[in-house]
A and B are shown apart, each in its own frame.
Chain A
Amino acid sequence: MSNQHRIFQNALVAAVGMLFAAPMLYLLLLSFAEGWTFPHLFPPRVSAGLWETMWGREQGLVGGLLLSILLSVVVAVGSTSVGFLAARYVSYHRWRRGLLFLSYIPFVMSPVVLGACIHVVFIRLGLVGTVAGVVIAQLMFALGFAVIFFVSFWNAERKSLEEAARMLGATTPQTYSRVLLPISRQPLLLCFLQTFLFSWFQYGLTLIIGGGKITTLPVLVYLYTGEANIYYAAGASILLMLPPLVMLWGNRAMAVRFGR
């Protein structure tokens, strides 16, 4: 590789890296800025006032944060465990292909549009405006992903391993606890993290099914971004980004499978 080539490559890496990091840096700067309007390229005044008042005045943020965590954990645990089992059923079923196709529908379709359609069903069931309703609605979409994710996991290799265990006399619970779960630890974690993120990012669906009552962090952030005060929006956005960032950094492999 020529020297010139290497310099070019390093410059490109730096430029692309800057672009990737820019949103986070910008939000951080904006949350400390004051009076940062046209034509100021940089904040004319800097203050930490926002971070001080944000917790005091808008107590909703702490509540929203806790609610979001609870919701995302329940959705992730639910969809990962149910998806793990359902995928096994699907992958050994004679209608494997048809069932798998069904799972793709909630996986890629717009949660908002499907949300409008299921709104009335959820009202009839008394689920609108409840945490349970939002959990179930998000599970619908997260489950589609989990089933697709685990169907590719239940392949011939796993099947033969399972049969071997059985031949050696293991019962079903034993097969699960001694053989299947240990080898599934990594995929289970991956699926958990991804469904957690799906739930964490959800805005439109939460808004429809939550009826405005379930104010998760994304709902609050949208409220602020729609407001005249952009500094609040920046602060709330950073709170919203931190958990996914930590998770993605912790496990980069999952990033690739996470489409949206």
Chain B
Amino acid sequence: MKFLALLSLLCLLLIGCGKTTADKPQSVDLAAASWEQIAAEARGHTVTLAMWQGDPLINDYMKSYVAPALQNQYGVTLNIVGSQGNDIVSTLMTEAEAGKEASSYDLMWINGETFYQLRQVNALHGPFVEKLPNAAMIDFGNRFINTDFQQPVEGYECPWGNVQLAIIYDTVRAPIPPRTRQQLEEYVKAHPGTFTFDNSFTGMTFLKSLLIDIAGGEQQLAGPFDSAKYATYSAQLWEYINRLKPYFWKEGKTYPAAVAPLHQMFANGEVNFTMSNNDGEVDNKVLQGIFPATARAYVLDGGTIQNSHYMGIPKRSAQKAGAMVVCNFLISPEAQLRKLDPNVWGDGTVLDVGRLPDEWQQKFRNVPGRKYAPPRQQIQPKALMELAPEYMIRLFDDFRRNVIQKQS
């Protein structure tokens, strides 16, 4: 008898848990609604945000600042879940394949190649950005913000932050870091086993920066994917990488799976360099005590890629109004300013500071400066545009085929 009781208890539990996701459907026509109507619609709802959760400082910004502020100011509950890039794409794809009505996510932190894939399978809601009152302050004249991997954003994703790839080194272990392809080759040959890059987003962005350098500047590869040009220049890139490969960490036979393990190895002294898609990350990591205080960041003479990261709303989201309210808050001067502080995150703003009210302009100019990363004005001239997303996807595949799997 105990078992029957236990069994029915279990069934009750399962049914009880299963119901938690039911939320009342949207009643407002978002395209026609005013912002007040949208905000009213959002109140009292929960927005599920899928984001990369690999950085405690970023998590802290979201959980201890953004979530409470949203709750207090707009009555919106923010539920943050861990998922990123291709995991998001595969989840939304599987949801579409299964014909699921309400998506598991309402808002997603994405960047170019995810944006491209989601547009490809028509999984994004939009255009919605012009509806956001704070969008008027976004620097949409900036080509690094209005275009994501050579694709016009067109209101299908909301800019959130802007960053540039930087190489991080330790001034004690590598007093004179290599600044060009030629110098890098000389360096790794003189110091075998001390350099590598990750086999993920950051490392591929590094390779893309080299590809642009090989092609002779970003104009060469601007515009839609050009397979002839890709074939020519990528062949030179692989030739270059394979020449250096025996001198990489682990003789180039394997690469860290993501940038965090590379950071760990740098912190541990196993390699002399790491890199970050966020030029300001070095400050954040030194402040956390993970990197030594002798760590510094710089960009290559040939330039490195600058890009923006964005917020997108899934087409199948049941909480689009709530998601828009969250976006609007994230691009408010208040939230953007806080994010800019290296003690908080150190993420570049997407706002056009000149368009802000005077008091905010003052505050943005007085953000505590970066100590370990170069000033933004210094690296801006070396910023390269992101290439069409196919370049990234091809680089991922071809790096595996032409470098990792190649027996040397």
Contacts and interface: CB of A to CB of B under 8 A. Distances in A.
B55 A211 contact: no
Contact of A226 (B91, B97, B258, B285): B258
Interface size class of A (residues with CB under 8 A): 35 or more
Contact of A124 (B55, B98, B104): B98
Given A176-B1, A228-B267, A215 B82 contact: yes
CB-CB nearest 9 A-B residue pairs: A228-B263, A132-B17, A38-B269, A123-B98, A212-B83, A212-B81, A132-B18, A129-B104, A212-B82
B234 interface: no
Contact of A57 (B53, B56, B268): B56
B6 A81 contact: yes
Contacts of A37: 267-269
B2 A181 contact: yes
A58 to B, nearest CB: 7
Contacts of A16: none
A80 to B, nearest CB: 9
B260 A126 contact: no
Interface in B239-275: 258, 260-261, 263-264, 267-270
Contacts of B81: 129, 211-213, 215
A130 B18 contact: yes
Contacts of A227: 54-56, 260
23 contacts: A35-B289, A37-B269, A57-B56, A81-B6, A82-B7, A85-B3, A120-B97, A120-B98, A129-B81, A129-B104, A130-B17, A130-B20, A131-B17, A131-B20, A132-B15, A176-B3, A181-B2, A211-B81, A213-B48, A226-B260, A228-B264, A228-B267, A228-B290
A74 interface: yes
Contacts of B37: none
B190 interface: no
A211 B263 contact: no
A78 B17 CA distance: 15
A129 B318 CA distance: 15
B3 A212 contact: no
Given A120-B97, A211-B83, A230-B264, A128 B290 contact: no
A223 interface: yes
Contacts of B98: 120, 123-124
A84 B3 contact: yes
Contacts of B21: 126, 129-130
Given A37-B268, A123-B95, A226-B261, A136 B3 contact: no
B56 A212 contact: no
Nearest to A224: B56
A34 B268 contact: no
B176 interface: no
A120 B269 CA distance: 44
Given A34-B289, A213-B81, A136 B99 contact: no
Nearest to A35: B289
B2 A177 contact: yes
Interface residues of B, number: 49
A58 B57 CA distance: 10
A34 B53 CA distance: 23
Contacts of A130: 17-18, 20-21
Given A132-B17, A213-B81, 16 more contacts: A35-B289, A77-B6, A77-B10, A119-B94, A126-B18, A126-B21, A132-B18, A135-B14, A181-B2, A211-B104, A212-B87, A213-B79, A213-B104, A227-B55, A227-B260, A228-B290
Between A128, A211, A230, the greatest number of chain B beta carbons within 10 A of the residue's beta carbon is seen for A211
Contacts of A35: 289
Interface in B86-120: 87, 91, 94-95, 97-100, 104
Nearest to B18: A132
A123 B56 CA distance: 30
Interface in A91-140: 119-120, 123-124, 126-133, 135-136
Nearest to B21: A130
B348 to A, nearest CB: 21
Contacts of A127: 18
Interface in B275-305: 285, 288-290
Contacts of B258: 226
A173 interface: yes
A123 B285 CA distance: 39
B13 A74 contact: yes
Contacts of A129: 21, 81, 104
A124 B99 contact: yes
